A and B are shown apart, each in its own frame.
Chain A
Amino acid sequence: MIDVKNINKSFADKQILHDVSINFRQGEINLLIGASGSGKSVLTKCIIGLHEVDSGSVEYDGRDFTNLDFKGRKEIRKEIGMLFQGSALFDSLTVEENVRFPLEMYSNQSNEEIEERINFCLKRVNLENVNHLYPAELSGGMQKRVGIARAIALNPKYLFCDEPNSGLDPQTGIVIDNLIQEITQEYNMTTIVVTHDMNSVMETGDNISFIYKGRKWWEGNKHEILKTDNKELCEFVYSSKIMQKFRSL
């Protein structure tokens, strides 16, 4: 479980996050939705410590991350896996070396055990016979799957996904969403997905937080979002004609 309490964050004179408090639940997909520039990415970066918060706290299963030093944070970060929007695979390393990287860096496993774990992770994301290819030789969907394999290599307790299906066709996007859902349940992880893709919201939204102008504007699940009368949320969710039609059914 990740508990975000009263976070405020400014850049120069501009306040980006205003007193945001959210509880991200274990074993569920927690979605952060909102329009571009609403503060979702800044909030995520504050949670994982890539940005320092001005005030407020972030607790990982009761451990106050914001007040920890580099060493303390490092221990928690070993329990975090992250899938980036652009996959962020190390382009000078092969697929196998990308998945191997966190294992070699932190685990005391033998080479055979590492090899076994790499093959297990790649198989889990339905990738085979790509071990020796470089990221540039893979399709966008395959890159995302390698990103997931790398993220789960160390058996993380927390998984962050930044727009996991951006740049993918709808079919591949659903495959990635399903994969994240399966992995979350399988390993009982606390998963946070930043998205503005309504397909993802309807497929996987167990716990949805809508961020509007740097504030948490609404909270609920995929069933409640269909019945909401929150004006700003409706404008965001039902901005397309298909969604408007869907609502009128």
Chain B
Amino acid sequence: MLSTFHHIGKYFLLVGRTFKKPDNFKLIRKQIILEMLSLGIGSLGLIAIISLFMGAVVTLQTASNMNNPLLPGYLIGYATRESFILEMAPTVMSLILAGKIGSNIASEIGAMRVTEQIDALEIMGVNSASYLIFPKIVAALVFIPIIVIYSMFLGSFGGFIVAMFNEGMTIEDYVTGLRYDFRIFSIIYAMVKTLFFAFVITTIPSYHGYYTRGGALEIGKSSTKSVVYTSIVILIINYVLTQLLLL
């Protein structure tokens, strides 16, 4: 228990150091662009495939459970849209990104630690936490919401493809469902969650990477631990924010 508090304290101290004034804004700006390309653009393909298939499966499952003639056909599109906007795109995609981006960050920073590259930065007088972690946070805060919106569209499109080829559904009903009772607050709620998740997806793996000690084996352990803890924290934040924002 004491060790948990020790890690939480150390994590917040590291986050504090990350937000200290950078030594050179020009270099930080360059890093932010590089991080956006590596963390953001590199994830688009994976998110596209997952969103399309999940959208299709959610639509199929909803349709198979709604064979009651009293239920209107547009409810399938409505259910797909709501599940994607409220949960699938922000939370499930963030969990997937925690695996992809999180392990990447932890192993990258961990390798820099064990090969003394972080020590080299420190000796040059550079605030290594700010130089290495801050650009990742900014890149994630900008790019992960874009990825989540992209996932919402693709998930709905996956359902649309199912509606096109499924006999029990019509495209008109599906599109009506997508547009039915649309509330902008759902998008705001999803974006608020996503910003919290984006912060966690970058800072927790950075913490694990930054304090890696040892060699290749420890880098692997840090990477695994970072994915596990990031996922747990995402689920807890998801519950707390849902309680606060929706009820």
Contacts and interface: CB of A to CB of B under 8 A. Distances in A.
Contacts of A106: 23-24, 124-125
A84 B117 CA distance: 9
Contacts of A149: none
Given A104-B24, A104-B26, A104-B27, A90 B117 contact: yes
Interface in B12-48: 23-24, 26-27
B121 to A, nearest CB: 8
Residues of A contacting B: mostly: mixed
B106 to A, nearest CB: 16
A102 interface: yes
A73 B111 CA distance: 26
B119 A84 contact: yes
Contacts, number: 49
A77 B115 contact: no
Interface string B105-129: 0000001100111011011111000
B132 to A, nearest CB: 11
Contacts of B123: 48, 50, 77, 80, 82, 160
Interface residues of A, number: 22
Interface in A57-102: 73-75, 77-78, 80, 82, 84-86, 88-91, 101-102
B115 A88 contact: yes
Contacts of A249: none
B23 A105 contact: yes
Contact of B119 (A75, A88, A104): A88
A86 B113 CA distance: 12
Chain A CB within 10 Å, residue with most, of B24, B26, B122: B122
Nearest to B30: A104
Nearest to B123: A82
Given A104-B24, A105-B24, A105-B27, A84 B125 contact: no
A31 B117 CA distance: 23
A160 B126 CA distance: 17
Interface of B: 23-24, 26-27, 111-112, 115-117, 119-120, 122-126
Interface of A: 48, 50, 73-75, 77-78, 80, 82, 84-86, 88-91, 101-102, 104-106, 160
9 contacts: A73-B125, A78-B124, A84-B116, A84-B119, A104-B26, A105-B23, A105-B124, A106-B125, A160-B123
Closest 9 CB pairs of A and B: A77-B125, A88-B116, A74-B125, A88-B120, A84-B116, A82-B123, A88-B117, A78-B125, A105-B24
